[in-house]
Each structure stands twice: as C-alpha cells, then as structure tokens.
Structure 1
C-alpha cells in the first residue's frame, strides 16, 4: 500500500518532482505510460427460448444477469453499498486518497485488513475481468494484483470518472458485480436470494447483498449463513454510523434472520420449463448456423452471453398433450430403460414444428430413463458431421413407408383400383427389378426370397387401395414389379424422408432395394417421417421443418432465421390419391380403432424384429409421427418388455404407438386444422372392381383359388413381416 501511495503521489500530486530525482521521475513515466481508456464490452446476459405463445421454454447463460437502470435500484441498496464500500463516492474523482491513507493507518494500527478501492475502481476491475474472460485474456483477481495492476486500475478509474457521470458508473457497478457463482448484478441477485425486484429490497435485504459483494463465496448466505449474517450486520452498523439509517431501523433489521427465498433460474435445457428435447434441438440449430457467428466459439458466446430472445414454432398446448400421452403410455418409471417413445408434429403447408416430446428425462446423469439424446431428429443436420443435432438418427420405418410406393405407382399413371396379384410369394435367385439409379439400371437378388404378409395370411389378388389399407407386402411388391425401384425412393426423398444417420456431408436417400418398398431401406427420423406425411397432407407441397420464428438480442439487433422453404414435389392429384388410401387405413385397416371424429389419415409400421413400431397420423393441419421402439438395441424385440407397467407378448404399430397418438389427438380438439381431404380426380382412383359374385351353395369340384401354394420358404435374413 505504501509503495502504491508513493508511486501514486509521484504520478498525480507532484508532477514537478520529475526534475528532483530519478525515482520520482521514473514513477511519473511509468504512470503516464499506463492505458487511460477502459475497454468495455457488452455485459453477458441470459438468452431465452420461447414457445409460439410467448411462454418460456428455457434460459441459457454463463452469467445470470438482468441489467436495470439506477432508478430501478432500491435506495436502501444504494445506501448499503456506499456505506460499506465507498461512503465518499460522490466526493472523490475515482480515487480516494483520503481513503487510501486511512486504510494504511488502519491496517498498521489494527489487526483488521481494510481495503481502499473506490466503487469506481471496483467497477473498472470487474470490467477488466469480464473483458478478459470474453477475449480469453489473463484474469487477475484482487489477491493476485501487483502494484502495476493497481496503478492501471487507478488511472482507468480516473479516466472513467471523466467519461461517465457518477450515477452512470454506479449503475454499471450494480449490473456487473457478482453475487454468487453464476448470479451477477443486483436485479438477478435480488430475484435469486429473495425473489423480489431490486427496487423492492428492504434495509436488511440490501445490507445482506452489499455484504456478499466483498466475497460472494466467503459470505454466501447459502454456503456460510452465519458468516453472511455477521457481515450483513456489519453493513447495518456502517449504515447507522454514516447516518444512512436510524437507530430504530438498524435495530429492527439486525433482529431479523436471513429470510432467504432462494429462487434459482435453472440453466439450459436440463432446467427447461417445457419441451427439453425441443430446447436442445433449437440450441443446436443456433450453434450450427453461421448466421449467428463465424465460428463455433462466436455462436456459443452469442447464445450463452448475448441476451437473445429466441421465439420458436412450438405449440405448448399440443406439446403438453403429446407429453401427457407419452407419459401415460411409456412413463420411464414404469418402462424398461431401453424402450423409447416419442412424438413429433409438423404443420402441413408451413413446416412449423409444433410438438417434440419423448419419454426419457433430459439429464446427463447416468440412470435408467435418462437421456440427452433426441429420438425425434437426425444425428447430424443435413448429413454434415460438423453439425451435431444430438439425435439418434432414426429407426426402420417399416410399413409406414408403403404410401411412398403408392405415390410412385400413381405418379406413373396407374390407379388406386388397379388389381394386382398378391398371391406371388417367392422370387427366384436372379430375379431383377428396374432401378434406373443403380449401375446397369437393374437390381438383382442372388438368393431366392419369400417375403410374407403380416400374420402370414391374406395372399390374394386385390387392389392397390385395399393392399395399402390391409398393409399387404405381396401387393406392395407387385407394384414394385411394375415400377422403377428408384422412383419411390426419390419421391420419398423429395417429400422430406431421408437417411437420418447420414454423415457424408449431405442428405442421402434410403437404400434402393425391393424390401425398402415396405421397410424403408434404412433408418429415418420421426421428424423426417412427419415431414413426408405432411407433404401428402399439403397436396404434395413439401415444407422443410422449421423451429425458429425470430432471434433478437437485448440491444434490439434482429438476426436472420431460416425462411419458410416449401416446394411442390408431388402432383396434387397424386398426393390426394395417397390420402384416399391412408384414410382407408383408418376405416378398413390397422387404424380402424384409432378414429378421432375428424378427417384423419394414417399408416402403421412394424419392423421385422418388432423392435421399432410406428403410427403416422395426419390431418390437413397436423402431421404426427408416433414412434415406440428399442432405442438401445435396434434388432432386439420389444416383446416381453415392460412398457407402461405392462408386458406385451407381441407388438405392432397399431397396439401402442397408434393408441398413444389417439390419446394425444383426443386431448386437443379444435387445436389443429382437420378439413376434409380434397378428392382426387377419377383417373387417379380408377374403376372400382365389380363386386364379387355370391358363392355357389356347394363348392365346385377341384376349385381352390385362394389356397396357399405351400411355398413358404424365406431367406431368414429379411422376414419383412411388416404391418
């Protein structure tokens, strides 16, 4: 301290001493060379993610701070801070020489250490620390400072006093100082410790906060309540001594306890108010997008320090209903840990993501039922491995993929009522299919292949319309025999369905092969499947999924968000024809028990191993993928697994995923558009087959058109037993 005073005196008080001696002259030169302009960056503020109704989803921050103006600070808080830290604040010019010499005398003559930094110096010190933290510079705390550090701080304090008014400096001080590990500024501290605004702090509360500033951990009322109480009372004594409160006010405040009402602001998606997996998806979209910074570090800084207000497309009413349905179906407390259940909904015609829910608890803690991986989305954004989405990357879609084969069928000029041979079961080795996107333009199988229908039944001649309603694999393959295998994959890809595990740097189609006509040919995420069916609902208009509506910073800066991106990828009449078939699923097929009283369409799906099951349900205003499966072991059946407190000996898409979707939809009547689907033109539907003639009273001899041929062998590697 005495060394500091010597240099300070030489630099400030006796500039004429430069001619009197080398020591004084050197001190002046050193002081003159110190920087005289304080570099102040924007203070870190939390970013907040909101749903489409303005309700909070989550708060993300490095420093929880809520900047306010000085007139929003309680006079008690100002009095308490000045009394304990800098009672001569409004009298000095940034450096209090009287205070410095008083501190020297006190420190020499007593066993108590007394500081001499003014509030202006403390403000400068906090600004320097904040700037260095933001820029990755060296951070020097009070106990580590050299004489040079203190002199730099003093000179900057003098400069700040010339630039800003006393009230402006005090306002900045109240907004920057730390009160706990992540709580900065008096407003955030008031809300955290007492759940009141800074303008409403009482004398006792203000004294407590003023005392904490001197050592946020050492005097923490949470960690060290007795020490904090003693420090608060010391502040109250100072307020009384300086005439800032009366004896009566002092005694009343001292008589109170800490009276904390801890109200933490939960940080990140772990602490989300709602939709934590959607929160994580939005977070990743921002971190992956160079519109929010040139580098990942820049984007991370903006997200966690930039005070962003991020408004999203999430619909809380629909979200809460979906989450409730999921919880009733597969609550993690009553469901085996490997069984996942999720729902995601998009709005046809806009691509807005309205729902993103799942049955696990969003937390990194390793325990059954916990996961930070998102069941609903791709592993990487647009197949770019540098753009992580924290998604599992999807699952085998099973028969939910069949409508795209029907779309390819209709797009080729054929009709829904065309009759096909569903009795054909075995394809011999060497059998080929048209596949224009593959080398040689053909796809050949090397071994005999015998796919079977669900339940190993219904091998009959019937229409394409009935084949989809009954989910007949042999009818789907009969369609593929007359098509180009690449056609339906290309149509699905254009509609938004793609390989959810792609890491090639771009989106990829699912595999092109005959089984993919009713199994997908890979893994697709629920979000991409919901997008594909939304394309049907919107008469062939595909809209890229959207989660962001607007992004604004606290200073009013508006950041661009991805614009609505829609394209007509399918002829209207083709999509309308598919909608006829998927509506038939609900009235005559596996969805017959899933009707909800408004026009809906849908499709169930189950993969070979019964490890992944789906229901795709949609109306003109809402397309939802409901998935339930074994997310830890793709080829391990869910049969005999505990799901919602029950064991199921055999599972398909209509048994759990479908009813869970119905549970969701029945909770939100009138919350989504459900107009009648437009009817397709007659050339899409085609001529309905003549009704079957009544059977004769006695069977004709030697006639058994529907008897199984007996050729039921299959290759064992791909049973294709999809519903």
Structure 2
C-alpha cells in the first residue's frame, strides 16, 4: 500500500472522478434493491410460515378436561379360523383411578423431578427444556438426544394423540406443533394438580398396568399411599421406556434410572441427603413382585395371546411409529381386530399333550418363588428374598437344600417355618408366593413356508395370570447340541469349503489349542477316530463340532446365526470379559442362551430351503373402522443358505432320527429331520425338528436349573411329547419328502479323509455322499498309508511287536488339539521300541511317496489330553 502524500492525493482524485461516482451510485442501488428483496422474501416466508402454523393449529382437535380422561373400545383377537380367542379391554389393563390428594407428595415429586422439573412454572410448553434439548443434540452431533415434552404434553400425547401414527417428518412436526398448542390451551382449562392427577392415572408403567395405583399394587402389593421414596423412584423410573426400565425383567436398567430420579429429587430440594442415602441403601428389588396381584376380573390370556400382544405392541412402535404408551392404548382401547396365525386344532393338540401327566416322569416337584416383607410395630421393614430363604435352610437343614419340594404342603410348611424364624408376634407380614409344577416344558410350532407361529406352549400347569412368564418366548436357556447345525455346520457347508464328507479326528481334545479344558463327547471316551460331518451331526459328536467351528471361526458362525434370527448373542464383551465368539458356541455354550421361538425359527430356515421367514403371531391388524394397520400376510424373508446347504443339512438330520440320537421322535408316514440337544450338566434338554409342513422346537428342564435325572426319565420326556404332538397334527397329510434340488449331486469318497478313494488302499472305507455342485473333492485320500503294522494294535510296528505285517495304516494328527496339525503315523504303544520298516503314501496316479518315521518311538504316541477331565 502507498500511504505517502502522492498516493493519498492520487486516491482522492480517483474517488472524485465521474466514473467512480457512477460506480458507487450503482453499488448503493444494488444493495438497496437486494435488501428490499430479502425483506420481501422474509415477509412472504413469515406470512407463509404463519399460515402453515395456523393451518396446523386449526386442524388440532378440540381440547377440554374430558379429552384426557381414559376412553376407548375393546380390541378382539381371532385365530386363523376366525374364532375369537381374547378380548383386550381397559379393565384388563389394571387401571385403578386415585385422586391427587391420595398420592403422597414424594410420589408426585418423583415424577415431576425426572419428567418435567419446571412443571409448576411453565404454561404447558417448556422453552428452556426445548433449548437445552436442542443444544444437547447439536453438540453431540445428534447422537445423544433428550426429550423436552412437558407432563402436559405427555398427557395429551397419551390420551388425545394416542391412536395417531407419525410416519413422516412432516407428520411428526405437525403433531408436535398441535401438541404444544393444545398444551397451552389445556393449562387454561385445568389446574396443575388436575393435570398431574390425570397424568399419574393414565401413564403406562409396564407389566399391563396403567397409572400409579395399579403400578403400586403390581410391583409392591400395596396402596400408592404406602409407597416409600425408594419405591416411588422405581416406578417413576419406568416412565421413559416401560420395556427397557421394567423393574421385573430389567432390574439393572431400572436401578440406573431410579438413581437419576433420586438425584433429581435431592437436587430440587424435595428429599434430604439422609432420605437420599436411605433410599439408595434400600434393597428394593428384592421385594418387587414377579406376579400380578392387582385385582382384576379380566380373563387370563393364553400364552399365545400373551406373545401376540407383545409382538403387536412392538410392531406398532417399529412399523407405525407409535410411542409405547400410544401402542399400549391402541391395543387395549383402540377397538382393534387382531387376526392371528394360531391354528386352533394344532394348539389344542399341543395343550392336550403338554398337559397329559402320562407324558411326564412320575417324580413331580413343586418349585417355589417367594418374597417376604416383615414390618415391625414401629413401621420399620425388612425384606427377605427367595435366595435368603434358600440360604437359611442350607445352613439349618441341608447344604443341598433347594426351593424344590415333593408337595405344595411341604413347600408351605417350609414357608411357615421361615416366617417363624424371621418374625415375631405383632409383626405385619407381606408375602408373595408362587408355586409351579416342575420340571417344565415349552414348545413352538411354525409353518416354515410363511413364518406363521401355529401354536405355542409357555409352560405346563395352570396359567393363573396374563402376561406371565412365557418359557417359549421370553426365557433364554442354553441350547446344547441343537446349536451345532445352525452355529457351525450351516456356515461350514454354505461358505467355508466344508462338505458332509469332510472329516475331523475324534480323539481327546482340549480347547484353546490344548491349553484349555477338555472337550468331552456325550458318550464319554468312546472316540471314533476320523469322522465325517454327517457322522458328527447324526451321533452328536462334540469334538467334531468344536474342531469344525474352530476351522471356520466363531465370527462366521455368529453372522449366520444373526441372519437366522437369533438376537440373544453376546457380541459385545461384557465387563466380566464374556462374549460368544468362543469355541464353546459350537456346543451351545452361550453367555445368555436362546429362546425356543428364535431357535425354532432358525431351524425353520433350513426347513424352508435356506430362506428365513420372521416368526409372526398375527397376520393382520385392523383398526376400529376396519382399515388395515399392519399386514403380515407377506412374509418378511431373507435368503441365508443356499438351497443345497439346506438340503444337505436336512439329509444329515434325517440320520439323527433314523440311526442317531433322535430315534425316539420318529413316527411313521412322514419325513422327519432334526437335532437333539442336552447341556453338559443335564440342566436343559431339547429337540428341534421339522417335516415338509412344520418346524417344532421343544425344551424341558427346571426353572431353577436343577439337574434333570436321567434315571427317572427326566431327560427324555420332551421327545415323547414332540412325537405325540407332531404325529397327531400330521394325521391325514401326505408325505412329499424333502425333494433334492438340482444343485446337489453325489460322489464316491474315502470315509476317513472325505476325499477321492485310492484303489487298493481305501477299499474298505469307500462310501457315497451328497455334495453341493462344485464341491465334489478333486484330491485323493491323504490319511491312508502302507507299511509294517502291529497286528495287535494296528499302529506302526516296532522291533518289540511280536507279530506284524504289511498293511494299510491310518495317519492321525500329531497334536489333535491344534488346528491344522501335521498328520503322522503313530508307533505301537503296546510294544515300545524302534519303528521297523518303511511307510509310503500311495497316490491316485499309482505312485508312492515315502513317509518319514525318523525319531519316532512308542513314547511319541503319549497324549496328555487322554486324561479324563470331566466338564
């Protein structure tokens, strides 16, 4: 820049020139015009925006205090033949109205502090909350968001907008604007106490309860007026997500939310530090009831109805965009017609056979669930859980004591003895008793071609409550060997280069390349040597399965399991260092286990030619006016396996029921395939199998993981029930078999190697096997060699063997616990000495390859893994 005299003078002349003046004037005109246009656009936009907002508000429903009082129509559920199976009504929702003056102050404040801490300050819309939520969303890149809806808005959403879906962004914005407008209007109509009263009486608090009084009765078996600060925080914590923060099914999640409630109450001055500390120290979850004690005249729903309700509520949220409260209200108040996939004939047969005492062992037990609260005359309370009761009798009666009894009278006698031990005269007793017949059972039947669940049984014995424990859908158990086909063999055949002829060496084997514990077959030390995958499936050989999963990796297995609908896998490492990417997954050793429904759905994928159909309980949901809300008649499918893989697995699992571990389930007149499963300590037994028509899974065991007694028949009754049910539902049906697809061919192989046989060497081990196109072996057998062998042991002869001859010798892995270990010829261990003679490996073209035996003697054949290590 030139800031001297000449430069400045020159600049002034330039600015005063005519050209410069014209240019400057034009610039000013342009800027003015631009600002005028910008202002005009702003005015038009503002007017348009005002018009849009006005239109949205004009479309909002009229609002009065009566608008937020519960109302609605009963919903009806029907089976596949149109028969009514249940009426879902408000009375069944366990709503009990309670006036605001009957709700303790600390209960009111628990909800206000966690849901809307400025409730008594705003006019229905919390601007500070909206700004805070917006800032939090922006600063976190919208990865962490929080709600800004006030209690007034929530009341409107749950009772005025409860049946309205929000499928698009425009609908969401429209609904939010209407909600905010009506919240302001409602605050003019009702007092804060009236709004809070309506809110606390209509909020969804999980476990089929609406409102604080029903929830108090449901979870603590007491009136709302008796709730402690700790208990109030538990219930208030449910509000954000009744499924996620359910204190019965998810106590850990609820506990974290409860702590936030208590912190908010302390921060806002509604409880003292001492009250906070006392509440935090309370073992509140020990006394939460696991069964519904609320008074209701509603019918007890079947297990099928229970499962359908859960799926409908979930789908209304996932598919239609409803909140959990809106979905719940729609099911119980919306006048829906829910058309289910339930086949009444199949369901009746399942109910009959699972209720038939002749199908069960004679030694029936009674399982006890028990919770006790003892209140002293001064009002102090002590809670006792079932674990505390069990510990008491372990210390005072027997170290092997369990809450399992021969009769209900025996169970009651122990209850009375325990109460006498922990209480005194003058104490008040509050108890929750649930006695259940044991061992238990669950069963699922699916039409594999559609995914329709035709029937379920969630347990044996009388069902006394709706939405109670459903062992077919809710309970996760260890699947044992039923997991082998879906976790290991399906991916191995489908994409990992394995065939049904592929072999593993069945001999003593330890996890973690020999450094871990021993893997044991179900039949002990009856090792089979070289065994094919087909043999491994038919005879449920654990070592074959574990070695195969090790070859293909657990990660591949988990990918296939997830594609077949298994959702309970632990894919993230827990704080304890646990996940399911382990060798034990081959045998069903899982962190959490699987549900019967999902395991049966996975097998249905194989039965359906490799195509997964999501299991569904209902076909259509119609609204009160007959319009279709959700249509499930078109199956949600995905191809998981090649049709050749599915057929090969079916072929092998047909062997299970004809010559293998599942012969007890086979019945005449119908093709059957499937797999047995037993966990290592006999805690769980399974059979999951299928016909050309249906896939059925059955589980049996004790709810408390008590060991099943094989001598009394407890490990086999499930097979008897499976056969009884499936043979009856297939009466009159023709057997089309399992047609072999064009993608499957056959070939002759050596049974020991799974490869092409060498003439004159493999002659005694030749068999015909099925293969997917393109997977027929092209290499020749590499496990058979020739040399001098001990006649007595069959191993390489030593100079100490009394009789030896030239014959075929089978190679074995040098270290059976290490994947890919070299194959060697083991010297005779019966007659230690130096190996004699030479060993050669014949090839397919007639030549021979020498095999080195240098340095081998009988001591090399010792394998530490042969030591018996029981799981």
Are 2:429 and 1:344 equivalent residues in the alignment? no
- Which has the larger strand fraction? 2
In the other structure, the counterpart of 2:309 is 283
The partner residue of 1:627 within 684, 693, 699 is 699
Quote the Cα distance in structure 1 between the aligned partners of 2:91 and 2:664. 52
Assess if the C-alpha contact under 8 Å between 1:495 and 1:531 holds in 2.
yes
Quote the Cα distance in structure 1 between the aligned partners of 2:461 and 2:297. 16
Quote the Cα distance in structure 2 between the aligned partners of 1:267 and 1:55. 22
In the other structure, the counterpart of 2:657 is 586
For residue 53 of structure 1, give the secondary structure of its aligned residue in structure 2: coil
Q: TM-score, normalised by structure 2?
A: 0.45
Quote the Cα distance in structure 2 between the aligned partners of 1:693 and 1:40. 79
The partner residue of 2:83 within 55, 59, 68 is 55
For residue 686 of structure 2, give the secondary structure of its aligned residue in structure 1: strand
Q: How big is the shift at 1:463? A: 1.7
In the other structure, the counterpart of 1:396 is 478
Assess if the C-alpha contact under 8 Å between 2:546 and 2:586 holds in 1.
yes
Assess if the C-alpha contact under 8 Å between 2:304 and 2:457 holds in 1.
yes
Are 2:552 and 1:524 equivalent residues in the alignment? no
Are 2:789 and 1:702 equivalent residues in the alignment? no
Q: How big is the shift at 1:417? A: 2.0
The partner residue of 1:294 within 322, 332, 351 is 322
Assess if the C-alpha contact under 8 Å between 1:50 and 1:309 holds in 2.
yes
Quote the Cα distance in structure 1 between the aligned partners of 2:579 and 2:661. 25
Assess if the C-alpha contact under 8 Å between 2:644 and 2:744 holds in 1.
no
In the other structure, the counterpart of 2:455 is 355
Counterparts in 2 of 1:517 and 1:552: CA distance versus 1, 3 Å: same
Assess if the C-alpha contact under 8 Å between 2:493 and 2:645 holds in 1.
yes
The partner residue of 1:535 within 599, 605, 612 is 605
Counterparts in 2 of 1:135 and 1:416: CA distance versus 1, 3 Å: closer
Counterparts in 2 of 1:549 and 1:713: CA distance versus 1, 3 Å: same
Q: Which moved more, 1:313-322 or 1:40-49?
A: 40-49
Unpaired runs of at least 5, structure 2: 1-62, 93-155, 162-295, 368-437, 752-761, 767-788, 796-809, 811-828, 830-861
Counterparts in 2 of 1:685 and 1:279: CA distance versus 1, 3 Å: farther
Quote the Cα distance in structure 2 between the aligned partners of 1:345 and 1:682. 29
Q: Map residues 78-117 of structure 1 onto 2, 5 A cutoff.
A: none
Assess if the C-alpha contact under 8 Å between 1:591 and 1:603 holds in 2.
yes
For residue 667 of structure 1, give the secondary structure of its aligned residue in structure 2: helix
Are 2:691 and 1:665 equivalent residues in the alignment? no
Assess if the C-alpha contact under 8 Å between 2:654 and 2:673 holds in 1.
yes
Quote the Cα distance in structure 1 between the aligned partners of 2:64 and 2:458. 56
TM-superposition CA deviations, 1:26-59 (whole Å, max 9, x none): xxxxxxxxx9999899963221111111112211
Quote the Cα distance in structure 1 between the aligned partners of 2:712 and 2:65. 75
Quote the Cα distance in structure 2 between the aligned partners of 1:36 and 1:421. 77
Q: How big is the shift at 1:660? A: 1.0
TM-superposition CA deviations, 1:157-186 (whole Å, max 9, x none): xxxxxxxxxxxxxxxxxxxxxxxxxxxxxx
Q: Map residues 625-704 of structure 1 onto 2, 5 A cutoff.
A: 625-633=697-705, 636-639=706-709, 648-649=711-712, 651-652=714-715, 655-670=716-731, 674-679=735-740, 686-688=747-749, 689=751, 692=764, 701-703=791-793
Quote the Cα distance in structure 2 between the aligned partners of 1:320 and 1:571. 35
Assess if the C-alpha contact under 8 Å between 2:570 and 2:580 holds in 1.
no
The partner residue of 1:494 within 548, 563, 572 is 563
What is the Cα-based RMSD across aligned positions, in Å? 4.0
In the other structure, the counterpart of 2:857 is none
Quote the Cα distance in structure 2 between the aligned partners of 1:457 and 1:36. 78
Quote the Cα distance in structure 2 between the aligned partners of 1:453 and 1:503. 30
Counterparts in 2 of 1:534 and 1:618: CA distance versus 1, 3 Å: same
For residue 665 of structure 2, give the secondary structure of its aligned residue in structure 1: coil
Quote the Cα distance in structure 2 between the aligned partners of 1:511 and 1:353. 28
Q: How big is the shift at 1:682? A: 8.0
The partner residue of 1:413 within 497, 501, 513 is 497
For residue 359 of structure 1, give the secondary structure of its aligned residue in structure 2: coil
TM-superposition CA deviations, 1:428-450 (whole Å, max 9, x none): 7x52xxxxxxxxxxxxx753534
Assess if the C-alpha contact under 8 Å between 1:453 and 1:474 holds in 2.
no
Q: Map residues 462-611 of structure 1 onto 2, 5 A cutoff.
A: 462-499=531-568, 511-522=580-591, 523-562=593-632, 563-597=634-668, 598-611=670-683
Quote the Cα distance in structure 1 between the aligned partners of 2:440 and 2:790. 53
Assess if the C-alpha contact under 8 Å between 1:485 and 1:512 holds in 2.
yes
Unpaired runs of at least 5, structure 1: 1-34, 65-130, 137-265, 378-390, 432-444, 641-647
Counterparts in 2 of 1:711 and 1:134: CA distance versus 1, 3 Å: closer
Assess if the C-alpha contact under 8 Å between 2:501 and 2:534 holds in 1.
yes
The partner residue of 1:317 within 323, 331, 345 is 345
Q: TM-score, normalised by structure 1?
A: 0.53
Q: How big is the shift at 1:540? A: 0.5
Quote the Cα distance in structure 1 between the aligned partners of 2:72 and 2:343. 29
Quote the Cα distance in structure 2 between the aligned partners of 1:693 and 1:575. 27
Quote the Cα distance in structure 1 between the aligned partners of 2:579 and 2:629. 35
Quote the Cα distance in structure 1 between the aligned partners of 2:479 and 2:618. 27
TM-superposition CA deviations, 1:130-175 (whole Å, max 9, x none): x9x9669xxxxxxxxxxxxxxxxxxxxxxxxxxxxxxxxxxxxxxx
In the other structure, the counterpart of 1:271 is 300
Q: How big is the shift at 1:310? A: 0.6
Are 2:506 and 1:422 equivalent residues in the alignment? yes
Q: Map residues 99-498 of structure 1 onto 2, 5 A cutoff.
A: 270-272=299-301, 276-288=302-314, 289-290=316-317, 294-328=322-356, 329-330=359-360, 334-337=364-367, 338-361=438-461, 363=463, 372-377=468-473, 391-392=474-475, 394-404=476-486, 405-411=488-494, 412-423=496-507, 425-427=508-510, 431=513, 447-498=516-567
Assess if the C-alpha contact under 8 Å between 2:448 and 2:604 holds in 1.
yes
